[in-house]
Every structure is written in C-alpha cells, then in structure tokens.
Amino acid sequence: MYKKLIEEINLYKNFQKAKSLARFFKTGKGEYGEGDIFLGLTVPQQRTIAKNYANLSLPDLQKLLNSKFHEYRLISLLILIEKYKKADNREKVEIVGFYLKNTGRINNWDLVDLSAHKILGDYIRNRDKKIIYQLAKSESLWEKRISILTTFNFIGNGEFGDSLKIAEILLDDKHDLIHKAVGWMLREIGKRDDRVAEKFLKKFHKKMPRTMLRYAIERFSKPKRKFYLEK
C-alpha cells in the first residue's frame, strides 16, 4: 500500500507549481521553511490521496513524515487525522503520542494549522493541558505554533481560557508566524465573544507586536481599529 501511495503522489508532480510553492512557503536560506522541498501537488489532490490510503499503518506514516518532501509529510498528517477520527480511546492515545513524538517533522505552518487542533486539541480539550504550556515555552517555532493552534479546538467549543494564557506566554515572541497565529486565535475568540477578546486587548495591546494586533482587530470597526492602533 505504501509503494502504491508513492506512485500515486508521483502522478501529480508539477514542476512549475513546486517552484511557486517553494517561494510561498519561504524555503530560501535563512527563511522559516529553509530546505523544504515541494513536488507541486495541490491540497485537494493531497486530501484525495489521503482518503484513499486512510488505513496506512503508523510505521508507514512515519516514513512519510521523515521525508524531505513537504507533500509526503502533509499527506501523512491528513491520514493521521482520519485515523484519529475513527479511533477508540486506546488508539487515540497512540496517535497523540505519535503526533507529539513528531513535532520536529510538523515543520511548516500549514502542517501545524491543519492538524494541531484536530488531533492534539481534540484529545486534550477535556484532559490535562500541561503539554501545550510546555510547547509554548519551547525553542522550536513549530512547537510554539502547535501550542496556540491546538487551542483552536477549545475556541470552537466556547472555551477561551487556555488560548488567552498561551497568547500571553507568546506575546514577546519575535517570530512573525507566532504573531500571526496568536492574532488569528484572538480574532477567533472575538467572533464568539468580543467582550472576552477586548478585555485581553485592553490589557495587552500596547505591548503586542503590530502584526499580532492587526490580526486580532481585523474584524473590528474602522474607528475601533484606529483606537487600538494609535494607543
């Protein structure tokens, strides 16, 4: 099955698309995606492939995650999400353990954003959340992004406390991808309860990185955005 999956991936390779994706995901020297290699598959193509191979074993998913090719890693995570949805509790424990063991291979923003809330977020929502606080204090850009994106699941269920605590931990982070992720989660909280979001913003907006603030207030009225940006 693994060999057939690789053959199917190769059918969709697109050199021009691969070059475009490499630029988009900042794979140049010194950029956040340095060294990442693309084959040029679209996300819909990868989703289709993942559905066709949803029964792939964890050892085979590990081989995909270990790949230098971005699409292999994304397909591995898309399959893992499908396996998680169908898993019993014992299997979910194994899948979450597999996910956390491989945070070093979940190493671009799309890989994080498509998977963290659906696997780790779903599993820990009603359990001990210590792991996301550990990830938030990691030296790894991607583990920090996983920490805040995991809480997207909680936000979707009307639970904002952990998102706000993680956001506060990450306020002083220097990376633009963390600023965007935190701002995005604050905006998602605001969609559901603007009072909660504004309480946080009133306390911290003066020290928030500009990108984080802009993302957080994106849905506000023009006068309200001006109020926060000029303070």
Could you tell me if residue 70 is inside a domain? Answer: yes
Instruction: Clarify whether residues 107 and 143 are in a common domain.
Output: no
What is the C-alpha to C-alpha distance for residues 60 and 47, in angstroms, rounded to an integer?
17
Instruction: Clarify whether residues 2 and 110 are in a common domain.
Output: yes
Instruction: Clarify whether residues 104 and 18 are in a common domain.
Output: yes
Q: Both tokens of residue 139?
A: 């030296």
The domain boundary residue, chosen from 66, 87, 115: 115
Could you tell me if residue 59 is inside a domain? Answer: yes
Instruction: Clarify whether residues 7 and 72 are in a common domain.
Output: yes
Q: Both tokens of residue 82?
A: 């499908």
pTM, whole model, 2 decimals?
0.95
Long-range contacts of 83-88 (CB under 8 A, 24+ apart): 83/54, 84/118, 84/119, 84/122, 84/123, 86/54
Percent of the chain with pLDDT over 90: 97
Instruction: Clarify whether residues 106 and 169 are in a common domain.
Output: no
With a cut of 80, say whether residue 231 has pLDDT above it.
no
Query: Whole domain around residue 182: which residue ranges?
Result: 135-231
Q: Both tokens of residue 85?
A: 């949805």
Could you tell me if residue 121 is inside a domain? Answer: no
Could you tell me if residue 56 is inside a domain? Answer: yes
Q: Position of tokens 């971005």? A: 70
CB-CB contact of 163 with 151 (8 Å): yes
With a cut of 90, say whether residue 230 has pLDDT above it.
no
Could you tell me if residue 127 is inside a domain? Answer: no
Q: Both tokens of residue 147?
A: 């920490």
Could you tell me if residue 122 is inside a domain? Answer: no
What is the C-alpha to C-alpha distance for residues 95 and 119, in angstroms, rounded to an integer?
8
pLDDT tens per residue, range 40-75: 999 999 999 999 999 999 999 999 999 999 999 999
CATH number at residue 54: 1.25.10.90
pLDDT tens per residue, range 143-174: 999 999 999 999 999 999 999 999 999 999 99
CB-CB contact of 50 with 78 (8 Å): yes
Could you tell me if residue 126 is inside a domain? Answer: no
Q: How far apart are the first and last CA of the chain?
A: 58
Q: Give the other-Cβ count within 10 Å of 25's Cβ.
A: 17
With a cut of 90, say whether residue 107 has pLDDT above it.
yes
What is the C-alpha to C-alpha distance for residues 137 and 10, in angstroms, rounded to an integer?
38
Nearest to 117 by CA among 85, 147, 142: 147
CB-CB contact of 125 with 163 (8 Å): no
